[in-house]
Structure 1
């Protein structure tokens, strides 16, 4: 536990002086599993901001399609291992010893101006905090707007952003929290709970696929996610919860 300084305020386990704001670039970590049909588009967008995105690490969970070859073709570093988003994110993030890490899902869609928004966040970012984006589904359905508002409420009230909102976190803070939890499901919630009040929103919209909501039904999918969240917070084994989760 950190000790109070002479002014009575607690020192950060990282220290702003050790993480100068001149460090205005990120390493993107993307977990993948058979994402060959869409990973190329995201990597191409990220490659369009080379001064901002210093590295891209694709952490693959055993894809049998062309995900890995596409990632390498776009210049991404690839790390492989067993499937499970928590473990994949953990393995990818462990390759970054210092600097800002941006945890991003393979189905994320970045809007025009995303690089400027992220650069603005980095310019004022505190390395002792982590930052999440604002969820936006790739759908014009009014029910998508309702689910987005519910996600915003969840973040404001409970400080529980999901992984599809992305997470910008400094490598030293992530290491101080013992890395991304190696869970098959709810790794994003477990990490958010460790961060607590150190979480803050950033002015960046993160688009995401609406495929699973359209397939399962908007409110049915949202209700299922809420039930799984409640069970996880109540102590249910994430491995058991993962068996009820359909990608």
Structure 2
């Protein structure tokens, strides 16, 4: 057995063992922190969530606004908790199950063990706030601060002021909202016995509630201080501007999201027209496709001219983007030139299924999914041998199992995402190999990768016909294993492409 084989065998055995030990260490009971931030939110269901925004944004737009605000506020609070090291985060939810909430707000690459989820109790807002406060003190914490998920301007500075106020001796702290309510309420343990009565008699949802809450605290003898910062929650049309500014989002991004389809090419004159034709024919409506961007890496054949000729025959705008070769470079260039709110990255030898835009959009609408892909099939046909067909069926089975079980699609699976998520993870890296794997690994840090329901994409079997299943699949496995061991993508690309890539890399360096 060669040294490389021994190394790969050792890795196969040791990696699962290391993962098991890490998981066991994570399951050990953690020490309860002194402070807790409790966030109230709802699962973003169209027609149920943020109903006062529906006249302005529509059902889906209002739900999406709720989703984005919750993710925005939670992201800021996670950052605060990581930096402080002594603060837990409790997400009090309504309208869903704990499983769905965890899927939505806990990334695949988990790591925030200071966060936990709690179902809001029945009753009115007063009862819910009472339970959130008392729950923190039952867990022996010293300070509890409660906020909503629709305060997009709240930040770590506000939280620091709130906790410093309580640590300085105040029994209660309030953050005044600009509409006459309040966006934050907090307590020290000294107020524990009075919390049961502090929320009684409030006219919730009115401009009176802030003053009523101050008066109630005074009646109960609770020492109260008010934060210097006043913020707005987002409930009505007049508040949308606050969300747009904080989230750097505009109205069309909430209500009229369309697709940019990005296709990298290199000498694809034999495939590109059929691929483009299905992009145009298989969408639910041409109005849903903002544009098709063909990102050419320097084709020497007739690829570019064929694309330009085809663009004159269809209603969907088709543009040619020129880039240096390498799918990482090409797809990054395409994404940077695109204007759609949804991005779909399609290989030029892969065909999209009917209504791909609808199924992909439904996948991304699932809270927690920051990206997605389609199931996968190969275009083997009656001219292929029986043995080859069986090989392709086996390949399809294990590929789709990998997508379902490990959330690990490759470029052939037609990865799609939102512009927001794409930029949040930094987009494609400019590499010659594994650009899809690197992107997926970044998505794992912020959410999940879902699967579009319906028919699969169909990829050309030309590689397997030419080189055989064992050679292609075996090389891919070695490349992935070496990547996990930290071998650079440039070195892996040289293993994969050989002298052909050396010439490309040399030419690119000369251009620079």
The TM-score, its normalising length taken from structure 1, stands at 0.88
**Alignment length (residue pairs):** 243
1:126-141 matches, within 5 Å, as 126=365, 129-140=370-381, 141=389
Corresponding residue number in structure 2 for 1:87: 329
4+ runs of 1 displaced by more than 6 Å?
11-18
Match of 2:361 among 115, 118, 122: 122
Corresponding residue number in structure 1 for 2:463: 212
Per-residue CA deviation, residues 128-169 of structure 1 (Å, 9 max, x unaligned), is 611101110111501111111111222233321100000111
Question: 1:52–1:119: 8 Å Cα contact kept in structure 2?
Answer: no
Per-residue CA deviation, residues 192-218 of structure 1 (Å, 9 max, x unaligned), is 111114211112411001111121111
Corresponding residue number in structure 1 for 2:267: 34
Distance 1:129 1:36 in 2: 33
How much does 1:189 deviate?
0.4
Question: 2:273–2:310: 8 Å Cα contact kept in structure 1?
Answer: yes
Question: 1:21–1:122: 8 Å Cα contact kept in structure 2?
Answer: no
Distance 2:422 2:352 in 1: 24
How much does 1:229 deviate?
1.0
The structure showing larger relative contact order (alpha-carbon pairs under 8 Å, at least 6 residues apart) is 1
Distance verdict in 2 for CA 1:55–1:17, change over 3 Å: closer
- Are 1:229 and 2:229 an aligned pair? no
Match of 1:8 among 91, 108, 125: 91
- Are 1:174 and 2:397 an aligned pair? no
Question: 1:87–1:181: 8 Å Cα contact kept in structure 2?
Answer: yes
Per-residue CA deviation, residues 53-90 of structure 1 (Å, 9 max, x unaligned), is 22000111000111111112222211112100001000
1:123-202 matches, within 5 Å, as 123=362, 125-126=364-365, 129-140=370-381, 141-196=389-444, 197-202=447-452
How much does 1:17 deviate?
9.4
Distance 2:362 2:448 in 1: 17
2:372 partner SS:
strand
2:295 partner SS:
strand
Corresponding residue number in structure 2 for 1:74: 310
Question: 1:97–1:172: 8 Å Cα contact kept in structure 2?
Answer: no
Corresponding residue number in structure 2 for 1:20: 254
Question: 2:364–2:450: 8 Å Cα contact kept in structure 1?
Answer: no
Question: 1:96–1:171: 8 Å Cα contact kept in structure 2?
Answer: no
How much does 1:4 deviate?
3.3
Higher mean C-alpha displacement, 53-62 vs 150-159: 150-159
Distance verdict in 2 for CA 1:17–1:157, change over 3 Å: farther
Match of 2:349 among 94, 100, 107: 107
Where structure 2 has 5 or more consecutive residues not aligned to the other structure, the ranges are 1-73, 79-88, 93-104, 106-148, 153-245, 312-317, 382-388, 501-512
Distance 1:68 1:223 in 2: 33
Distance verdict in 2 for CA 1:88–1:124, change over 3 Å: closer
Distance verdict in 2 for CA 1:15–1:123, change over 3 Å: farther
**Higher helix proportion:** 2
Higher mean C-alpha displacement, 89-98 vs 45-54: 45-54
1:102 partner SS:
strand
Choose 1 or 2 for highest CA Rg: 2
How much does 1:121 deviate?
3.4
How much does 1:47 deviate?
2.3
1:105 partner SS:
coil
